[in-house]
Amino acid sequence: MQLATLFRRVALVAVAFSVGSAVNAQNIIYAGPDGAPIEGERCATPAISPQQQAAVDAFLENFLAENPGTQNRDGFYLIPIAYHIVRYDNGTTGEVSDADIEEQTDVLTAAFAFMDIVFETASIDRTDNTTWAQAQPGSSAELEMKAALAIDPASTLNFYTTVPSGGLLGWAYFPDSCESCTYHGVVCLYSTLPNGTAVPYNLGDTGTHEVGHFVGLYHTFQNGCTPPGDSVDDTNYEAIPFFGCGARETCGSPDPIENFMDYTDDACMFEFTPGQQERAYVQMAAFRPTMWIKVPVELVSFNATLNGNAATFEWVTSSETNNSGFEVQMLPDGRSEYQLLGFVEGHGTTTEVQHYTYSVVGLNSGTHMFRLKQIDFDGGLEYSQEIEVTVGVPGTHVLEAAYPNPFNPEATFRFGVNTQQNVRAELVDVLGRVVNTLFEGNVAADEMQTVRIDGSGLPSGTYMIRIVGETFVDAQSVTLLK
């Protein structure tokens, strides 16, 4: 804590000297791995000129006019991160543990929760190359490193941790350029990650700040007190970067020193604004559309367990957005339309894994199909894969009731056997005469047969369906009512 305070004071002194020179005089002092102070720069993201900013703003305005609603929050976005740990040739300088990388992902997710953006660690690789580790923004070493290490920049945030020369804490590139260029991504001094040594910049918010640039946000002090500032309406103008912690007023209103896009110490920056969220959304939709995909309701499994004539369905989602719930539907053997069995409530929007179960008892013999119909709160829906459940024939055989009964002139009934055999089914009148042979054939075990009764040539009356197999005889009565 004392160390942090010390470095904050030093940083304030540093900025005091820099006032009056260029706005991007960004000298800071932070702790090196051995505790000795290092002088460096807070952020080396290439500056954007007023002309470039005006061009981007005009483009975004047109894009928003053509894609209304792009700025609105209406679901979660998931950004996978490929971490590239680039160390010195000695294999130790610049090392970051997997646990600290995971914490960096958590810091980003916490910071961007305000924007409903979730991050996940997709991959981690380590490379020993002192030249690459020391690369500065725009250098050939940087381009060479990224060309070698970048993983699918259109769909993945490539996050490099290095040991940049000049004491740089990090940099990024704005999205308004080719979507799949390998130079995209963020570079951070390895010791700025959570649990790193770069006090007071070691809580992972160098990553937050640089990812802020990655999604299209400028510094809060962009253009100083002059419109359009950072092109966001609800961040106050700010003449120069703020270092340390505290409060200040440089353009007639409180400086947005708690904003992630200022130069404040990690411990004192914790805010994005609604205006920044909207600007980030439109930029991502316009410039990084491949990456900008809403988290769907992602069903990772759907299984059934059968116990006699009872079935239990279990399914798991890895994430959900706006999920009202699931209809469990069944297509009974011999039928042509799915029926609703029941409804299971969803979890709305979540990136946590969710488990669901649903049970049904008293299933008839036969092969039934089941599926889930996932329904969004706004009415959107999606069907799962179908799964097949075969309920075997208990005992020697099954003879299901004819339907409809009474009938005119047609009805159907189903039967099944538990061992393969020849079966004959007949329609018999009250005098015991066979008036129709309804079925004759060899029937496989557990395969339900649907049999049609045609009474169009028969008088009204009560009839018997008689079914004779090799292992059983059974019968049921039906009434033809004309």
Residue 241 Cβ, how far from Zn ion at the closest point, in Å? 9
Residue 209 Cβ, how far from Zn ion at the closest point, in Å? 5
Closer residue to Zn ion in complex, CB, 168/360: 168
Closer residue to Zn ion in complex, CB, 94/241: 241
352 part of the active site: no
Size of the site for Zn ion (CB under 5 A): 2
Residue 41 Cβ, how far from Zn ion at the closest point, in Å? 10
Which of 210, 238, 320, 400 does the annotation list as catalytic?
210
Q: Token pair of 120, please?
A: 């996940």
Binding to Zn ion in span 30-59, by CB under 5 A: 43, 45
Residue 15 Cβ, how far from Zn ion at the closest point, in Å? 15
283 in contact with Zn ion (CB under 5 A): no
User: Closest residue to Zn ion, Cβ-based?
Assistant: 43
Closer residue to Zn ion in complex, CB, 144/271: 271
Closer residue to Zn ion in complex, CB, 276/374: 276
Residue 240 Cβ, how far from Zn ion at the closest point, in Å? 14
Residue 272 Cβ, how far from Zn ion at the closest point, in Å? 14
Q: Which residues are catalytic?
A: 210
Residues that bind Zn ion (CB under 5 A): 43, 45
